[in-house]
Chains A and B, each alone.
Chain A
Amino acid sequence: MLEILDTLVQGALLGGLFALYALGLSLVFGVMRIVNIAHGDLIVLTAYFALVVCETFGIHPFLALVVVLPVAAVAGWLLQFSLFERVPRKEPLVPLLVAFGLTIIIQNVLLIEFGADPQKLNAGPIEQMSIEPLPGLHVGLFSLLIFATAAVLILGLQTLIYRTGFGRILRAVSDSETSAAMLGVDTKRVFRKAFALVMAIVAIAAILMAIKTNYDPASGPTRLLAAFEAVVIGGLGNLWGTFAGGIVIGVAQMIGAKIDASWQLLAGHIVFLVILVARPSGLFPKREG
């Protein structure tokens, strides 16, 4: 019984990490209508940048966020300004293939710079700390921190999107780019800001991931697929749904891993496909209006 509960809790906490990966992907698609295949690779690239910052200054990964987050945000702004802004989006094919090219470039630049060895950030004693809410059930403090961060970020994003002026503009552009432009919205500026926001979230996700898991230059796609599955299961455009989707995939992977380590990824993918067949628009489709 305790073992089952343990698997569920560990799975749910892993899902928090997937939700973190997924938030940026969801925003890029929601606002810019671009399926950013390079999303996972952007997370891994940022994690390598965090590694460099930690090693250069000899600082704790949490402190490195002070440098990594603003740099990532500026990089996001520049990426939109110099690349995605110039991509015709009339057909989904073109931005998709541009992002695909970016994926291969990032992976191979990392491979040349850092080699194929797996990396990890060291956050010190917090990685080993755990609490015991029930006798025999140990919950890692760091995993809880990731889970809480995902929840706080979603809460923050919801507030930003539904309660602020910038959020109103984001929603307008997301609904109809042309109408928003006609009403005087500078959509290019909105997109650049949105991509900066996405990369700021990616910075947080990247540092937490780099402490929690090993990563190497080819790790991007597994992150992308987990994020994608969370977004689709949760229902497109529903951030809390994405969180729930992440938890579903996390629990599925943990149950798979219980059977055999090699079943972890496969179990997640299979549950995703089953849900896709049963509920094509996700478990929590966004209600209109």
Chain B
Amino acid sequence: MKASDNTLSLLLLASAALVLAPLPLFVGNGTLRYLTDLCLLIAVAQLWNLLAGYGGIVSIGQHAFVGAGAYAFFGFAVLTGIHPFVAMALTLPFGMLLSVPVFAVVIRLRTAYFAIGSWVVAEVLSLTAGKLPGFGGGSGFSMPPDVVRAFGSDVTSRIHNVYWLALAILVAIVFLIIKILNSRHGLALKAIRDNETAAMALGVNPVVAKAVLFMISGGFLALLGAVNTLQKLRINPTASFSLTDWTVFIIFIVVIGGIGRIWGPIIGAVLFVVLRENLSGYGSAYMILLGAVAIVMMLVEPGGIAALLSRGWSRIVRVRPGSVSKPIAEGHRLTP
């Protein structure tokens, strides 16, 4: 990615944040809750994309961190009784710490088996969550009203605050990812993706480089899981650790939107929620459609819709000779 593209991405991010932040003044509570869900989906998708698209780590266990974050938030805020704001903030370092042993165990599996290994770990964490004393066992617990009220005394102000919280975390994640990709670390990741052995010969340690990404993703996922409890208002081993919500849908979002591109998860998530609104009555058929589209996308254009769009954009731009502006996504190609 060139420096100008970097600045352009950051400018676009800043303007998007400026447009989205005042929305609570204009739209109703229903729409706002919907947008909060969208922010959470895009954020989780960005983190999966950070691992798979840039780090070459395919995880099917992301839901473990979302669920662990929800449980950690409940544990800190309800069981130890510290202030809900502090409890929520603590889920970030908690997720980062949790990701260290998880990574240390699963990285022992060769690249391709890492995926199933992370799934086993997620199963272990979700089954364990159902056995923890004080967390309500298999049926879970509702969030106590005083914890929820700390995020807004009435429903409307709470919905506003949770929206701003989700939006702020999303912006922070995208900002961080853009920064990482333009740092030495991003360069190291690119080198690993192109040729791991050659990268190692140049002094890059692939395990450390991947571990850093895994920790960042684990921390933010836990934080997002904590925010999500304010939407769902309860913790439960099956719902908090939902494989479908936080891994299956997320993978489809990134694959269809465009893996290895910063716009991919955003395009994928928006498409996903729009389709879900219109096809929610079809349940299983919708899942089959998503699966089929993802497979076709992998076979036809592994770069997803973002790649198709950027190709179309390049064609338009090329019409005017002398124009040097390149699509932003161009820098994040899966295969250079």
Bound pair (A, B): yes
Residue from A228, A270, A277 whose CB has the most chain B CB atoms within 10 Å: A228
Q: A92-B112, A111-B284, A277-B108 are in contact. Are A105 and B124 (CB under 8 A)?
A: no
CB atoms of A229 and B120 under 8 A apart: yes
CB distance from B126 to the nearest CB of A (A): 10
CA distance A90 to B195 in the complex (A): 12
Is the CB–CB distance between B299 and A102 below 8 Å?
A: no
Check A196 for interface membership: any CB of B closer than 8 A: no
Interface status of A213 (Cβ within 8 A of chain B):
no
Chain A contacts of B128 at CB under 8 A? 266
Distance of A225 Cα from B113 Cα, bound (Å): 11
Number of A-B residue pairs with CB-CB distance less than 8 Å in the complex they form: 115
C-alpha gap A101/B255 in the complex (Å): 10
Report chain B residues within 8 Å CB of A98.
295, 298-299
Across the interface, name the chain B residue whose C-beta is closest to A221.
Answer: B119
B256 smallest CB distance to A (angstroms):
10
CA distance A215 to B179 in the complex (A): 48
* B272-311 interface code vs A (CB 8 A; 1 in, 0 out): 0000000000001101101110110011001000000000
Whether B287 pairs with A96 at a CB distance below 8 angstroms is no
Q: Are B295 and A83 in contact (CB under 8 A)?
A: yes
Contact flag A224-B116 (CB < 8 Å), given A37-B60, A97-B255, A104-B287: yes
Are B115 and A96 closer than 8 Å at their CB atoms? yes
- B292 x A273 contact (CB < 8 A): no
Are A273 and B288 in contact, with the CB atoms below 8 A? no
Residue of B nearest to A113 (CB): B284
Among the listed B116, B131, B284, B302, which residue makes an inter-chain contact with A228, where contact means beta carbons less than 8 Å apart? B116
Q: Please state if A94 and B298 are interface contacts (CB–CB under 8 Å).
A: yes
Q: Does A112 contact B (CB under 8 A)?
A: yes
- Give chain B residues whose Cβ lies under 8 Å from the Cβ of A232: 109, 113, 117
CA gap between A102 and B248 in the complex, in Å? 12
Task: Note all chain B residues with C-beta closer than 8 A to A112.
Answer: 284-285, 288
Give the CA-CA distance A225 to B116 in the complex, in Å: 7
A-chain residues with CB within 8 Å of residue B117 when the two chains form the complex:
232, 276
Do B124 and A96 touch (CB < 8 A)? no
Per-position binary interface string of chain B over residues 103-124, scored 1 when its CB falls under 8 Å from any chain A CB and 0 otherwise: 0010011111101110111011
Interface membership of A86, Cβ < 8 A: yes
With a CB–CB cut-off of 8 A, which chain A residues contact B287?
104-105, 107-108
- Within the assembled complex, what's the spacing in Å between the Cα atoms of A283 and B288? 39
B335 contacts A by Cβ under 8 Å = yes
Set of chain B residues within 8 Å of A262, measured between Cβ atoms: 127, 130-131
Check if B24 is an interface residue, CB within 8 A of chain A: no
Across the interface, which residues of B come within 8 angstroms of A269, CB to CB? Answer: 120, 123-124, 127
User: Does A109 sit within 8 A of B, measured CB to CB?
Assistant: yes
Q: Which of B109, B113, B335 touches A91 (beta carbons < 8 Å)?
A: B335
Q: Is the CB of B120 within 8 A of A109?
A: no
User: CB of A93 within 8 A of chain B?
Assistant: yes
Number of B interface residues in the complex (CB < 8 A): 42
Per the CB 8 Å criterion, the residue count for chain A at the interface is 45
Q: Is the CB of B299 within 8 A of A96?
A: no
Q: How far, in whole Å, are A98 and B285 apart by their CA atoms in the complex?
A: 18
Tell me, rounded to whole Å, the shortest Cβ–Cβ distance linking A265 to chain B: 6
Q: Does A87 contact B (CB under 8 A)?
A: yes
Q: Please tell me if B206 contacts chain A, counting CB pairs below 8 Å.
A: no
Residue B52, interface by CB 8 Å: yes
User: B120 contacts A35, CB within 8 Å?
Assistant: no
Q: Is the CB of B298 within 8 A of A270?
A: no
Given A94-B298, A232-B109, A266-B128, are A104 and B58 also a contact pair (CB < 8 Å)?
A: no
Q: Are A35 and B105 in contact (CB under 8 A)?
A: no
Contacts of B294 in A (CB 8 A): 97, 100-101
What is the bound-complex CA distance between A94 and B334, given in angstroms?
A: 11
- Whether a CB of chain B sits under 8 angstroms from the CB of A280 is yes
- Please indicate the chain B residues that have their CB under 8 angstroms from the CB of A86 in the complex: 299
Sample of 14 further A-B pairs with CB below 8 A, known A228-B120, A232-B113: A35-B112, A93-B52, A93-B259, A97-B255, A101-B292, A104-B290, A111-B284, A225-B120, A225-B123, A262-B131, A266-B128, A269-B127, A270-B124, A276-B108
Mind listing 17 A-B residue pairs with CB under 8 Å?
A: A33-B112, A35-B116, A87-B299, A96-B115, A97-B58, A98-B295, A100-B294, A101-B291, A102-B295, A103-B291, A105-B291, A225-B123, A229-B120, A262-B130, A270-B124, A276-B109, A280-B108
Residues of A within 8 A of B (CB): 29, 33-35, 37, 83, 86-88, 90-94, 96-98, 100-105, 107-109, 111-112, 221, 224-225, 228-229, 232, 236, 262, 265-266, 269-270, 272-273, 276-277, 280
